[in-house]
Amino acid sequence: MSKKTYVTQPSLPPLDEFMPYLAEIWDTKILTNGGPFHQRLEAALCEYLGVKHLSLFSNGTIALVTALQTLRVGGEVITTPYSFVATAHSLLWNGIKPVFVDVDPDTLNMDPARIEAAITPQTTAIMPVHCYGHPCDVDAIQKIADNYNLKVIYDAAHAFGVQCHCGSVLNHGDLSVLSFHATKVFNTFEGGAIVCPDAKTKQRIDHLKNFGFVDEVTVVAPGINGKMNEFSAALGLLQLKRIDETIRMRQAVDARYRAGLAEVKGIHCLASSGEIVQNYAYFPILVKPDYPLSRDALYAKLQQHGIYGRRYFYPLISNFPMYRGMSSAARANLPVANRAADEVLCLPMYQALDPQTQDRIVALIAEH
């Protein structure tokens, strides 16, 4: 068997370029608690992403949990079943009931046409996901939120650097939450962030991620430890220098897949949802009924040849034990999402994926 090719590979800078940053940490002896690298990365990300305020976190899941705390969300929150489990888990951790609505068949993002029917007197917010980095219909979602006085928190884990018709997609909603996990386009080993519109909200977020401390003796909220450490922040500063090149390389990988798979019957490559700037976070294909193999059979075939794709997102969140008893989790309520979960396969996608390996993947899919 040839070498194994996994669904992703973390982007890392040359080690010798990271060493001066480590030397500075050793010199300052500041390892965490909002040190100099933490402060510099927050400022640099605000400038790069085109957002007003950003608060760094140890990971995206803690950022989601804290975002809900920040806006004092309770009751029920309308969300998507087609995402990584952290989206819904963050609701349960806050004692909030997720209410699932189906997704749009073209984008696999939350279908705005399904939201209003799911609103009850207990609904306090909407939590959509920019799935695979493709923006939701932000205008339609915001209109519904305004009509019903609901908060909107975007799970933007996939959407680093993505721009829609009016600039950064991260500026939509009340808050947007990013992930900087090792598998993401921009990574800080582990990490995350909350994007917010004003300094007062950022101050509340910063208190909540530091146990609720305001000063040495004053605690104003039951916070958590969500702070990013200096090592991750330093790596983030270095990663940011290469992020545009990284995205350009991923764009080339995306284009090669699309060209190679365009004529393969039964394989559908998910299109963009109209974004002006993409980040090429994933390369999902849908294995349709007219393809000779089932999705799972193709998944197994690729593994036999050392190609390890992933079935993102299968199973649906709504089909996991802690959610499937909810009325909104019924398969009849989520036909599009269930079909997508049964058909989707994410192919290897990372900037260092060589054309020869890509061509081999395409050939394996194309052969019958």
- pLDDT-above-70 percentage for the chain: 99
Q: What is the mean pLDDT of the chain?
A: 97
Region of residue 329 (phi > 0: left; psi between -120 and 50: alpha; otherwise: beta): alpha
All residues at 6 or more sequence positions from 18 whose CB lies less than 8 Å from its CB, including other chains: 234, 235, 238
Q: For residues 82 and 129, what is the distance between their CA atoms, to the nearest angstrom?
A: 8
Backbone phi, then psi, for 212, in 5-degree steps? 90, 5
Would you say residue 15 has pLDDT above 80? yes
How many residues does the structure list for the chain? 368
Q: What's the chain's Rg over C-alpha atoms?
A: 21
Distances (CA, A) of 201 to 67, 171, 198, 364: 10, 14, 6, 50
2 — pLDDT class (breaks 50, 70, 90):
low
Distances (CA, A) of 60 to 64, 177, 179, 354: 6, 7, 4, 29
CATH superfamily label, 243-366: Aspartate Aminotransferase, domain 1 (3.90.1150.10)
Residue 197 in 3-state DSSP? coil
pLDDT confidence of residue 3: 87
Region 122-132 average pLDDT:
98
Residue 331 in 3-state DSSP? helix
- pTM, two decimal places: 0.97
- Token pair of 104, please? 């749009």
Would you say residue 1 has pLDDT above 60? no
| 326-349 pLDDT tens trace | 999 999 999 999 999 999 999 999
Q: For residues 7 and 255, what is the distance between their CA atoms, to the nearest angstrom?
A: 17
Q: For residues 211 and 225, what is the distance between their CA atoms, to the nearest angstrom?
A: 6
Sorted by where each begins, the domain ranges of the chain are 15-240, 243-366
Class of domain 15-240: alpha beta
Is 71 within 8 Å of 123 (Cβ atoms)?
no
- Token pair of 263, please? 């004529």
| 32-90 pLDDT tens trace | 999 999 999 999 999 999 999 999 999 999 999 999 999 999 999 999 999 999 999 99
pLDDT confidence of residue 175: 98
Q: For residues 62 and 82, what is the distance between their CA atoms, to the nearest angstrom?
A: 20
| 230-258 pLDDT tens trace | 999 999 999 999 999 999 999 999 999 99
Its sign, for the CA torsion 258, 263, 268, 271, is positive
| 34-46 pLDDT tens trace | 999 999 999 999 9
Please classify residue 274 by burial: count the beta carbons closer than 10 Å to its beta carbon, then call 0-12 exposed, 13-18 middle and 19+ buried. exposed
pLDDT confidence of residue 342: 98
| 152-209 pLDDT tens trace | 999 999 999 999 988 999 999 999 999 999 999 999 999 999 999 999 999 999 999 9
Region 306-311 average pLDDT:
98
